[in-house]
Chain A
Amino acid sequence: MATLADLKISEVKLSEEQTGKWGMVIDQDICTGCQACVAACAMENNLSFVGEVDSGYGRSMHWIRIERFWEGAYPEVKMTPNQPMMCQQCGSAPCEPVCPAYATMHSQAEQLNLQVYNRCVGTRYCANNCPYQVRSFNWRDYERPEPLSNQLNPDVTVRRRGVMEKCTFCIQRIHKAQDKAKSEGREVVDGEFTTACAQACPANAITFGRVDDPESLVSQLAHRGHGVKHLEELGALPSVTYFKGG
């Protein structure tokens, strides 16, 4: 006979304690909203330039965006801190189970949400189900004017129309660092590399690293106490911690 003790509570616990592997800490109080991260991300990851019209119609192609809000009405306007928003690399991501083609998958090795561009058929269900609305769809084949085509990052795929894409935590940099460390017979050192957005941030508002290593800078920052994870109540286990008003 099954008793109460036999019930598998352990599995539930496991998913709650799951921290993921790579994570980020974003300090909204020191973010100046300069958009350097947005530009750096676009350069690093071969993002298309969608132009004014499409961008104004909610088709901007950014893997990271700076959200600005304000309170009150003019002239008594109070700005709230800038909020950089990108894929939160959820541990239990709502985008993953809804894809009919397995184009968005959880990487067992990296603990990241992968987007498999050449498997994507463009149902856009993942983007609908993303609580953070951080997925970008290739609505068209956007033009890349002449000198810009020489700027493409050879480590990153160029996407075509009809395909979903999103922040990867610069997985190409992760792999490069891992390969280098492996060839030198060591582990990847904390701070050895970082994502394009964190690298470009003049205020050091973005910190990237291993959240499963308690010694890493990102873990120490994340456990400072007053950090929040956005929409944590949904149980998606996001890996990005935000600081605001600290």
Chain B
Amino acid sequence: MAYEKKHAEHAHAAHAHGEEHFREKHLMLDPLPRGQMNDMVMESMMEKPTWKFWVVIAILSAIVAYGLVYSWAKMIAEGLGIAGVNRPAYWGIFLVNTVFWIGISHAGTFISAILRVFKAEFRRPFTRAAELMTTFGLVQAGFSIFMHMGRVWLSYWLMPYPNQRMLWPNLHSPLTWDLLAITTYLLSSTMYLFLPLIPDLAMARDRSTGWRKNFYKILALGFRGTEGEWTHLRNAMNIFAFAIIPVMFSVHTIVSWDFAAATRPGWSSTIFGPYFVVGALHSGMGAVIVVLAVIRATMKHMKYFIRAEHFDAIGKLMLIISMAWAYFFFNDYMVQWYGGDKWTKQLLHFHEAGPMGWMWFAMLIFNIVIPWAILWNPKWRSTPWLVSIVGILINVGMWFERYIIIPVSLTINRMPFTWRLYKPGVEIPLGLGTLAFFILLYMIASKLIPLIPVWEVQEGQMAHELKKFGRETVVTVSELE
């Protein structure tokens, strides 16, 4: 009897602990009053920047000024000769960075649109951070592709604009498709970033004074939160969430066609489309997790919004995407190898045994070995610092992958007389300039717009409930939409 009682007490304690445990673990089950949560997000945004913040801003601005402004101006004035591009590597790090930044931008759409469409609840606190990545990444991709042009001041010729000579861009060229696809993606992703931002801007407008009040007043477009406004907003977001998914897939597929449509050994591959899309998600997810870890560590109240469960969920996605990437990589490699074309054979040997072989092996280690070795473990993948190191390494690995596809593969062609290795020149400050500008935009955004979509978190918390069925605590989710 005594034993039974004790056992029952113990079980009860375990249940109470279980509920507590649920709340601690899941943001959706740990609701705070709306006003308090709004204040937390406002505080995290309006918090007076420390001197460290300004030092980082100053360093990044200096890199942007030297890398992006001065170096680019110098290259425009002197020609591409100060870069490392040559024959046969006519495309160098500029194109590597273009593909890399477009790849990074895919994470935003993936998290925000695909996870929204599939109603993955863990997405709620970080959709905004991911969407910002799309827009800011595409800005860097745009810079990188324009840098690469020999006469960038004539780049408007690639746009279909009416002119006296009836000259149009060549719609046979993958580069024209590329330009149209990236422009579409940039415009639609910016709109898609803005729509879910409106309620948060309205929230910020109601809680701020001075210039901020006017700033948010203009951006919030007079949103008051009426039933009708919410219905319209929801409809618009729904349309965009579905419509932007094919845009996202098409963008990186078209980027891959820049290579796949060419008659070059190693490039003319039919699997490049999905391979590039998966590669883009691979680097994008890695970047998102780094951003989340930084936000969590540096901004106020973020430990409430971004928890171990989110790192765990993204870690799982990273692991799956890493496996998908490995599948596509080996599929491409095997079929190229079995093709038996003598130039492709030369190229594949050059990849692994040539002077850039270290990069090829590093790519496989960073993209496959390290993610698989670490992300399988729930404890490890929930550790922010560890998983963000994995994220950084994946991004280095994916950058290496694009470097191998572009300048390293260009080294080997069907005219052995022209084979020559590519050595980067001014591409390095220019590339660092885009990276610094990307981080700078993020830092400015963190002070200007709510990085956490508060209404989305609140909506999720309203839908989630802990219910007791007998002794069992069960999580229930109701459909709000």
Contacts and interface: CB of A to CB of B under 8 A. Distances in A.
Interface of A: 54, 57-60, 65, 67-69, 83, 85, 94, 97-102, 119-125, 127-129, 131-133, 135-141, 161-164, 231, 234, 236
B87 A137 contact: yes
B81 A139 contact: yes
20 contacts: A58-B418, A94-B263, A98-B173, A98-B175, A99-B175, A102-B170, A119-B167, A120-B151, A121-B154, A121-B155, A122-B80, A123-B150, A124-B91, A125-B258, A129-B264, A131-B263, A133-B87, A140-B81, A141-B79, A162-B149
B407 to A, nearest CB: 11
A131 B168 CA distance: 27
A87 to B, nearest CB: 12
A137 B150 contact: yes
- Tell me whether chain A's interface is mostly helix, strand or loop, or mixed: loop
A100 B169 contact: yes
Contacts of A122: 80, 149-151
A102 B167 contact: yes
A137 to B, nearest CB: 7
Nearest to A94: B263
A69 B168 CA distance: 43
Interface of B: 78-81, 85-91, 148-152, 154-155, 157-158, 167-170, 172-176, 179, 258, 261-264, 410, 413-418, 420, 423
Contacts of A102: 167-170
Contact of B158 (A101, A128, A138, A236): A101
A97 B417 contact: no
Contacts of B152: 121
B479 to A, nearest CB: 47
B82 to A, nearest CB: 8
Nearest to A54: B81
B173 A100 contact: yes
Contacts of B89: 58
B254 to A, nearest CB: 13
Nearest to B418: A133
A234 B415 CA distance: 13
B79 A131 contact: no
Contacts of A101: 157-158, 169-170
Contacts of B264: 128-129
A132 B87 CA distance: 12
Contacts of A161: 78-81, 150-151
Top 8 A-B pairs, shortest CB-CB distance: A122-B150, A162-B150, A161-B79, A140-B81, A58-B86, A139-B81, A162-B151, A140-B79
Contact of A85 (B81, B167, B417, B420): B417
Contact of B416 (A59, A69, A125, A137): A69
B150 A138 contact: yes
B149 A121 contact: yes
Given A58-B420, A100-B175, A129-B264, 16 more contacts: A60-B87, A65-B417, A100-B179, A120-B151, A121-B154, A122-B80, A125-B175, A125-B262, A128-B262, A131-B263, A132-B414, A133-B414, A133-B415, A137-B150, A140-B81, A231-B414
A129 to B, nearest CB: 5
Residue of A67, A100, A125 most packed against chain B (CB within 10 A): A100
B94 to A, nearest CB: 10
Contact of A124 (B150, B158, B167): B150
Contacts of B176: 100
A158 B271 CA distance: 42
B151 A131 contact: no
Contact of A131 (B80, B90, B169, B414): B414
B143 to A, nearest CB: 16
A92 to B, nearest CB: 11
A77 to B, nearest CB: 16
A140 B82 CA distance: 8
Nearest to A67: B417
A51 to B, nearest CB: 10
A64 to B, nearest CB: 13
Given A101-B169, A102-B167, A137-B150, A121 B158 contact: yes
Nearest to B145: A123
A101 B90 CA distance: 17
B263 A140 contact: no
Interface centre among B87, B151, B179 (most CB of A within 10 A): B87
B150 A163 contact: yes
A128 B150 contact: no
Given A58-B420, A121-B155, A163-B151, A139 B173 contact: no
Contacts of B79: 138-141, 161-162
Nearest to A128: B90
A162 B420 contact: no
Nearest to A105: B170
Contact of A99 (B149, B170, B416): B170
Contacts of A98: 172-175, 261-262
Nearest to B150: A122
Contacts of B167: 102, 119
Contacts of A133: 87-88, 413-415, 417-418
